[in-house]
């Protein structure tokens, strides 16, 4: 998976340095990257019925699940990673969460911002480590 991420990262470089991207832009790409990891993980299991796959994916990608994952990750994050988590948490999206509290939604955005930051800065090994920890924790 790391090699695939590296290939994609080289094909489509961000128009700005990742540090200059708005936290919601990092969360946007982070959401997609995390979703691909989760889907790949679910395909590695046995039940491939579409309804089952979607139901299982929600256990990982819901705002509540991501907020919970971030809470567990926080002590192990580096200072730069924590800074991007703060930026993501404090970003005003203007969206009203449907199935989560405002706090859970903000922490979910922070988690996605972290994933986006790691992806855009090409820290693929660290990205993979963090996502695997989250997935294994949920399993």
Model pLDDT for residues 19-55, shown as the tens digit of each residue: 999 999 999 999 999 999 999 999 999 878 989 999 9
Query: What's the pLDDT score for residue 139?
Result: 81
13 lies in some domain: no
Q: Which residues are catalytic?
A: 31
Tell me the pLDDT band of 2, cut-offs 50, 70 and 90: low
The two tokens of residue 28 are: 């946007």
Mean pLDDT, residues 80-89: 97
Between the two ends of the chain, the Cα-to-Cα distance in Å is 19
Contact 26, 120 (CB under 8 A): yes
Cβ neighbours around 8 below 10 Å, total? 13
In this structure, is residue 121 part of a structural domain? yes
**Residue 97 — pLDDT band, cuts 50, 70, 90?**
confident
Q: List, in order, residues 6 or more apart from 66 with CB less than 8 Å away.
A: 34, 60, 107, 108, 111, 112
Q: How many domains does the chain have?
A: 1
Instruction: Decide if 112 is inside a domain.
Output: yes
Q: In what helix (H) or strand (E) does residue 89 lie, and over which residues does it extend? A: helix 79-90
What is the residue range of 105's domain?
21-138
pLDDT exceeds cutoff 70 at 9: no
Determine what percent of the chain is predicted with pLDDT higher than 90.
77
Please check the confidence at residue 3 and state whether its pLDDT lies above 70: no
Of the pLDDT bands very low, low, confident and very high (cuts 50, 70, 90), residue 113 is very high
Distance CA 46, CA 63 (A): 26
Domain assignment present for 4: no
**Residue range 1-8: mean pLDDT, rounded:** 68
Provide the CATH number for the domain around residue 37. 1.10.1520.10
Compute the mean pLDDT over every residue in the chain, rounded to the nearest whole number. 92
Are 65 and 98 in contact, with CB atoms under 8 Å apart? no
Helix, strand counts (H, E) of the chain: 7, 0
How far apart (Å, rounded) are the C-alpha atoms in residues 102 and 124?
30
pLDDT for position 20 = 94
């Amino acid at each position: 998976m790391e090699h695939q991420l590296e290939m994609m990262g080289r094909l489509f470089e961000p128009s700005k340095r990742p540090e200059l991207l708005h936290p919601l832009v990092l969360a946007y790409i982070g959401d997609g990257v995390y979703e691909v990891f989760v889907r790949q993980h679910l395909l590695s299991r046995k039940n491939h019925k579409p309804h089952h796959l979607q139901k299982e994916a929600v256990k990982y990608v819901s705002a509540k699940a991501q907020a919970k994952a971030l809470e567990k990750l926080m002590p192990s994050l580096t200072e730069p990673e924590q800074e991007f988590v703060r930026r993501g948490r404090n970003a005003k999206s203007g969206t009203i969460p449907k199935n989560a509290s405002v706090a859970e939604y903000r922490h979910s955005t922070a988690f996605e911002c972290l994933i986006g930051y790691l992806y855009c800065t090409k820290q693929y090994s660290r990205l993979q480590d963090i996502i695997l920890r989250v997935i294994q924790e949920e399993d």
